[in-house]
Amino acid sequence: MIKAGVVGASGYTGGELIRLLHTHPDVELTVLSSRTYSGKTIGEVFNSLRGLSYQFEELTPEEIVSETDVVFVAAPHGVAMEYALAADAAGRKLIDLGPDFRFRDAVLYEQWYKTPHSCPHLLAGAVYGLPEIHRTEIAQAQIIGNPGCYPTSIILALAPLVEAGAVVDGFIIADSKSGISGAGRKADAAYNFCELTEEVRPYGVLHHRHVPEIEQELTLLAGSKVKALFTPHLVPAVRGIVSTVYAWIKPGYSLELIRGLFAERYKDEPFIRLIDEGSHPGTKAVAGSNYCDISVDFDAATSTVIVVSAIDNLGKGAASQAVQCMNIMFGLEETAGIAGLPLFP
């Protein structure tokens, strides 16, 4: 059994990790770390997990690493670096669900997150944890930078096109809508019911921190610079992301050829579902799952492709994708513990 620990276990993503890892056939949960709820049982913090015997603790990184084979860090930026140093020293694996190990360039991280990177020497060996793109590298990695939820939905929506060199000038536009759980489990008036019900609100316009992450990965796939214009929105839903992505396509492509790129690229991917022509994905069809649903439309008059993707921001956008990475890192069946179908309605 793989011994797993979760740092930041009392947040929404932490709770989702607990739910998945508790029933994983190859995992034993040995540490649940939370400074806020240290000493409390899991059922006192998550009503949905009543009856489980876990208790939150506050331990040092060295103590957590000593009790685990893999540590999941579900905490704000800057937290994972300390745990990564301890994991590296002990030869343990770490999966960071924050941004500390998503970037290959420490300067880029520091520019966007306004925080010094305390272990830039570990970035060269860290792998961006998107299995559909970096499966081979993930299998050999000790540290994973789990992708952001928005970037997951956008990169998967564009990978077949940028790999084929089909996008004009490497320029894409992404318009994304997310449920409120993506903002985290915190007391903030901006995210309470009265503020967000019957409201759709853009934020981070032109300067969202996920932009460099999106551009980094799409540029690697394209082999040349990709620029992204990204606008996220909060919608009055608990969970789920829909991203509508626009790109101008080079001459010679038809809808049939473009759909063929997607069908070929994702034919062996267990968690990518290409939607039938004329249909489009929505958040309810992926809720509680690790699936990414994708539709493709093409306007020949303007040479514009419109790709719509849907994921659960706490699932494929966070916790279940992290478990997928863990499965690959330890040579397990990739779908182990995360093969459940979506919840509906």
Task: Spell out the per-residue pLDDT of the chain, length 345, in tens.
Answer: 999 999 999 999 999 999 999 999 999 999 999 989 999 999 999 999 999 999 999 999 999 999 999 999 999 999 999 999 999 999 999 999 999 999 999 999 999 999 999 999 999 999 999 999 999 999 999 999 999 999 999 999 999 999 999 999 999 999 999 999 998 887 688 888 888 899 999 999 999 999 999 999 999 999 999 999 999 999 999 999 999 999 999 999 999 999 999 999 999 999 999 999 999 999 999 999 999 999 999 999 999 999 999 999 999 999 999 999 999 999 999 999 999 999 998
* Concatenated DSSP letters of 279-327: ----GGGTTTSS-EEEEEEEETTTTEEEEEEEE-TTTTTTHHHHHHHHH
Label the pairing between strands 227-234 and 167-178.
parallel
Cβ atoms of residues 94 and 28 within 8 Å: no
Running DSSP on this structure, what letter comes out for residue 247? E
For domain 2-146+318-329, say whether CATH 3.40.50.720 is its number. yes
Cβ atoms of residues 46 and 22 within 8 Å: no
Residue 149 designated active-site:
yes
Cα Rg for the chain, rounded, in angstroms? 20
- Sign, CA torsion 113/117/122/124: positive
- Name the amino acid, one letter, at 78: G
User: So what CATH class is 150-311?
Assistant: alpha beta
Nearest residue to 304 via CA among 260, 247, 221: 247
pTM: 0.97
Domain ranges of the chain: 2-146+318-329, 150-311
Q: Catalytic residue, from 149, 194, 292, 325: name it.
A: 149
